[in-house]
Chains A and B, each alone.
Chain A
Amino acid sequence: MGHHWDFASVLANSDALLVGAAGTLRIFAICLVLGLGLGLPVGLARYARAKWAYLPATAFVEFFRNTPVLVQILWFYFALPILLPFETSPLAAASLGISLNSAAFSAEIYRGGIQSIEPGQWDGARALGMSFSQAMRRIILPQAIKRMLPALTNRAIEIFKMSTLASTVAYVELLQQGKLIASLNFNPIEAYTTVAAIFFAFLWPLVQATYLLERRMRRDE
Chain B
Amino acid sequence: MYRFDFTPVIANAGLLAEGLLNTLKVTGTAVVCGVALGLGLALLRLSRRRFLAWPAGFVIELFRTTPPLVQLFWFFFALPLLAGIEMTPFMAAAVTFSIQSAAFFAEVFRGGIVSIERGQWDGALAIGMSRRQALRRVVLPQAVKRMIPAFMERSIELMKTTTLVATISYADLLFEANEISEKSFRPLETFTVVALIYFVVIFAFSLAARRLERRLALSGETTAH
Contacts and interface: CB of A to CB of B under 8 A. Distances in A.
A83 B166 CA distance: 25
A192 interface: yes
B67 A162 contact: yes
B195 A175 contact: no
A71 B198 contact: yes
B113 to A, nearest CB: 18
A212 B97 CA distance: 28
B84 A1 contact: yes
Interface string B179-193: 001000001101110
B180 to A, nearest CB: 11
Given A74-B191, A82-B187, A161-B67, A67 B198 contact: yes
Interface residues of B, number: 42
A167 B203 CA distance: 27
A172 interface: no
A67 B181 contact: no
Given A70-B166, A189-B82, A82 B188 contact: yes
Size class of the A contact interface (CB-based, 8 Å): 35 or more
Contact of A75 (B65, B69, B192): B192
Query: Which of B61, B73, B159 has the most chain A CB atoms closer than 10 A to its own CB?
Result: B73
B167 to A, nearest CB: 6
A71 B58 CA distance: 31
Interface of B: 2, 61-62, 64-71, 73-74, 77-78, 81-84, 159-161, 163-164, 166-167, 174, 177-178, 181, 187-188, 190-192, 194-195, 198-199, 202-203, 206
A216 B78 CA distance: 40
A69 B202 CA distance: 13
B191 A75 contact: yes
Contacts of B69: 164-165, 167-168, 175
18 contacts: A1-B83, A65-B206, A66-B198, A67-B160, A69-B160, A70-B166, A70-B174, A71-B163, A71-B194, A74-B191, A75-B195, A175-B70, A188-B73, A189-B78, A189-B81, A196-B71, A204-B61, A204-B65
A207 interface: yes
A3 B164 CA distance: 28
B78 A193 contact: yes
Contact of A192 (B65, B70, B167): B70
A179 B78 CA distance: 11
Contacts of A192: 70, 73-74, 77-78
A63 interface: yes
Contacts of A196: 66, 70-71, 74
B153 to A, nearest CB: 11
B96 to A, nearest CB: 12
A195 interface: yes
Nearest to A75: B191
Nearest to B78: A189
Contacts, number: 117
B191 A78 contact: yes
Given A161-B67, A182-B77, A189-B78, A67 B199 contact: yes
Interface of A: 1, 3, 62-63, 65-72, 74-75, 78-79, 82-83, 157, 160-165, 167-168, 175, 178-179, 182, 188-189, 191-193, 195-196, 199-200, 203-204, 207
A96 B177 CA distance: 20
A196 B73 CA distance: 10
Contacts of B73: 175, 178-179, 188, 192, 195
B135 to A, nearest CB: 25
A79 B178 CA distance: 11
Contacts of A161: 66-68
A193 B69 CA distance: 13
A74 B187 CA distance: 9
Given A164-B69, A200-B62, A66 B191 contact: no
A182 B70 CA distance: 13
Given A83-B188, A189-B81, A203-B65, A72 B70 contact: no
A164 B81 CA distance: 23
